[in-house]
Chain A
Amino acid sequence: MTTEAKVLDGRVPSGPMAEKWRKCKNEMKLVAPTMRRKYDVIVVGTGLAGASAAASLGELGYNVKSFCFQDSPRRAHSIAAQGGINASKNYQNDGDSVWRLFYDTVKGGDFRSREANVHRLAELSGNIIDQCVAQGVPFAREYGGVLANRTFGGVQVSRTFYARGQTGQQLLLGAYGALMRQVDHGRVKVFPRREMLDLVVVDGTARGIICRNLVTGQIESYAAHAVLLCTGGYGNAYYLATYAKGSNVTAAWRCYKRGAFFANPCFTQIHPTCIPVTGEYQSKLTLMSESLRNDGRVWVPVKQKDSRSPDQIPESDRDYFLERRYPAFGNMVPRDVASRAAKERCDSGYGVGETGQSVYLDFGDAIKRDGEATIKAKYANLFDMYEKITAENAYKAPMRIYPAIHYTMGGLWVDYYLQSTIPGLFVLGEANFSDHGANRLGASALMQGLADGYFIAPYTVGDHLVSKKLAAVNTDHPEFRRCQDETGSRISQMLSIGGKRSVESFHRELGKILWEYCGMSRSAKGLETAMQKIRTLREEFWKNVRVLGSGNNLNQDLEHAGRVADFLEFGEVLALDALTRNESCGGHFREEYQTAENDTKRDDQNFSHVAAWQYMGADKAPVRNTEPLEFTEVHPSQRSYK
């Protein structure tokens, strides 16, 4: 069977950009307060998107079931976000506006996001701050008692709200509090230590999920009238990433295999300032906030393999390569540009440290200029964290940094209503693809997760519930039985292989393949190699993986095995997406498509669209559908940082 590639409709409302969301809200159907209790809604994931959606839907009166694989909803990885959250409040009187936040985000995304979604995000940004303040989120304040702001990369205004270096933690705990309040009111039931392993689709509509109870091993079914997927990004496909160890693609991938399209998987973000890898045993990478580049100067020795300690290398033997190549922006070039430049230096033999895979981020000049006390006041928590991990004092010697996978802009395709290609399946936060295009700006992820959860999904899910005639479905339905059996046999199969290699070793190897061929720099030849290697590795996994223990109790190796099995399928589609996008944009850098200055070269003629992959069955090539992108407000231009 062959399927023609489709052109997808994002269902963007008509009318002027600034009126679209209002018009949409006016036209959506409402559910009467007394009727809401008749509807069950499942929310998977309890990060910013999931917790805020579950809490808000509970407040409205729906019956909400909230699921997470961690032991408590408060653990979701949104908690680790450091820097801040953007909002176009213009509290600083520096000319910020909804339009400017919208413009910066579309441009920062290298013109690969859907304009209408981004505009709505900018419109809602102010409400988010108000909501969080009311919940008791202790944002930084000025002495007069008003909210404080700081600047972040890629913009000319101060619009970032923050709670020291722990903004994500404070926002998440605010949403978690709102969620637990609804638990207290009986509107939300929380199911922790549950991993979603399948989506149940009945008559073409998402009607429930299959989970594994991670404590008892029980395979459980839950039916509902709508399913909200808020399960985050897939960066752990690369093994070494700044993600939490448990973050995975499984829930999204299971939905893909049930008919949800996966959009732009090759749009991955690599953050330049992470603590470098020290050895083979390394289990994850840690980010150091982008704000450090305001005062730190990035350099490597002029000579290859120069093993002198940095204080022995005189000024004349140092290459401040970002300042040299990008005199206009210097050390503050965007994340993707800085990352690629560091990789190029290291690959050419100029890298420093034991492994040669790092560059210096030097605060020596800033300390000389402003004094150690000033630098300490700005960055003490980051310098402390750096010392905790590396045992090096960055006030005395330069930090060593290297880029790492940090965020994924791709995700399940959703329309303007955040609904996937499966009716009744909504996708929120990092798990969807819509707002950041090919590159996300700093302090925008928190904004998107909360906009989706607090202010968008509560309306659009209600519209779905009353617009569709949803027959009564419970977990006795044959489709639930079938999905439950399939999940069970997949688990049995993994446990019965009894091979020689650990799950961990497969994950590491997959990560190395993706990082090598589908990381900061990609080529057609490399991507083809990657796809071949991933296929071979996947075949070996199903023959030679060793998963011990049983499926009837807490078995972390089995949990990991299921996630790695899905990464092994997903990784190939990620590479395929990168291979078929014959242009460079944002985080997607194809060596064949670059400007004379080594920058990304977009092809708006042929690739100003979203690629949305459709599953066609095991061992069949997926179909590449597209959604054309139209830019009516912000005219696409070539980025230059010279």
Chain B
Amino acid sequence: MSEMLNLTLKIWRQASPTAEGEFKTYKVYDISTHMSFLEMLDVLNEDLVRKGEEPVAFDHDCREGICGMCGFMINGQAHGPERKTTTCQLHMRFFKTGDVIVIEPWRARAFPVLRDLVVDRSAFDRVITSGGYISVNTGNAPDGNAVLVPKQDADRAFDAATCIGCGACVAACKNASASLFVSAKVSQMALLPQGRPERSQRVQAMVAQMDEEGFGGCSNTYECEAACPAGISVENIARMNREYIRATLTAAE
């Protein structure tokens, strides 16, 4: 059975990338515990529109926890208090009536705020562009079973490949490091035979681009793993570091 909550929200409002932002306080009433966090914000926005105030901008799309578009800090935690849960899959039953909830965008130099809770994460796209793929043109592929992949390797590659690219790891890290994100892609490719031919240049190019974008170095505090809604392990960071050392210490020719 659902209960009804009355809540106080302190939300970061910022009109444009260059405008000064500030926290504004809003009250919402009769929030069903069945609602998702974003549905609670939908209720707030309907109310704001009714009052003639512009609704709070936030990114979201699939609302199933897989597209990676949603996400902001909820009471200082990326995606809120539930482990392995995106903001869209967080439900209001984890809050109590009377709670004060502070909501602000990801904070990182590489993720500038565009408006309210919306940030620009195109730095992630540029990191992938620098080498987060296998160079194979359409039509070049051998039969899918021509190269055998041990189940264990395929499973570990899959675990790394489930990263949804939301940016929570960056937001949770005190250095705003993108190590978890980058290492997930490096690991997926390094674990598969198809990714081996380019493993050296891939890890070097991606790490260079990560630095270029203004992400900080790994803080080794594992906040990223704790915040990650997809359950990406920090083991991947260790693997990325090994890949990097291997690439820099072993000459190509």
Contact = CB atoms under 8 A, between A and B. Distances in A.
Q: Name the interface size band of chain A.
A: 35 or more
Contact of A77 (B49, B62, B130, B138): B62
Contacts of B150: 141, 145
B33 to A, nearest CB: 8
Interface stretch (B96-104, B139-147, B212-220, B236-244): B139-147
Interface in A482-525: 502, 504-505
Contact of B42 (A133, A166, A178, A283): A283
A164 B157 CA distance: 12
Interface stretch (B119-127, B171-179, B245-253): B119-127
Contacts of A555: 54, 57
Contact of A556 (B57, B66, B122): B57
Interface in B57-96: 57, 59-69, 85, 89, 91, 93
Contacts of B158: 138, 140, 163-164, 170
B151 A145 contact: yes
Contacts of A72: 121-122, 124-125, 165
Contacts of A143: 151
A75 B188 contact: no
Contacts of A133: 141, 144, 147, 194
A502 B42 CA distance: 11
Given A134-B194, A278-B34, A244 B130 contact: no
Contacts of A184: 129-131
A560 to B, nearest CB: 10
Given A75-B61, A246-B61, A192 B122 contact: yes
B135 interface: yes
Interface in A29-59: 52, 55-56, 59
Interface in A110-144: 126-127, 129-136, 138-144
B89 to A, nearest CB: 5
B68 A75 contact: yes
Interface stretch (A327-335, A341-349, A359-367, A545-553): A545-553
B105 interface: no
B42 to A, nearest CB: 6
A537 interface: no
A532 interface: no
B141 A181 contact: no
Contacts of B137: 56, 59
Interface string B105-131: 000000000110010111011001111
A176 B128 contact: yes
A77 B141 contact: no
A147 B145 contact: yes
Interface string B194-221: 1100000000000000000000000000
A348 to B, nearest CB: 25
A542 B128 CA distance: 43
B151 A142 contact: yes
Nearest to A277: B34
Contact of B122 (A71, A91, A244): A71
A94 interface: no
Given A71-B120, A135-B133, A244 B63 contact: yes
Contacts of A166: 66, 162
A601 to B, nearest CB: 36
Given A136-B189, A244-B63, A245-B63, A173 B148 contact: no
A138 B63 CA distance: 24
A89 B143 CA distance: 10
B224 to A, nearest CB: 19
Contact of B39 (A76, A142, A146, A281): A281
A146 B143 CA distance: 11
6 contacts: A134-B194, A169-B66, A173-B161, A281-B42, A458-B138, A502-B50
Interface of B: 1-2, 15-16, 32, 34-36, 38-39, 42-43, 45-46, 49-50, 52-55, 57, 59-69, 85, 89, 91, 93, 114-115, 118, 120-122, 124-125, 128-145, 147-151, 154-155, 157-158, 161-162, 164-165, 188-189, 192, 194-195
Interface of A: 52, 55-56, 59, 70-77, 79-80, 89, 91, 126-127, 129-136, 138-147, 163-164, 166, 169-170, 173, 176-178, 180-181, 183-184, 190, 192, 215, 244-246, 278-279, 281-284, 286, 354, 385, 388-389, 391, 454-455, 458, 502, 504-505, 546, 548-549, 553-557
Given A70-B69, A75-B68, A245-B62, 19 more contacts: A75-B67, A133-B141, A135-B133, A147-B144, A170-B161, A173-B161, A176-B128, A180-B125, A180-B133, A190-B125, A192-B125, A245-B61, A278-B2, A281-B43, A283-B38, A504-B46, A505-B46, A548-B54, A554-B118
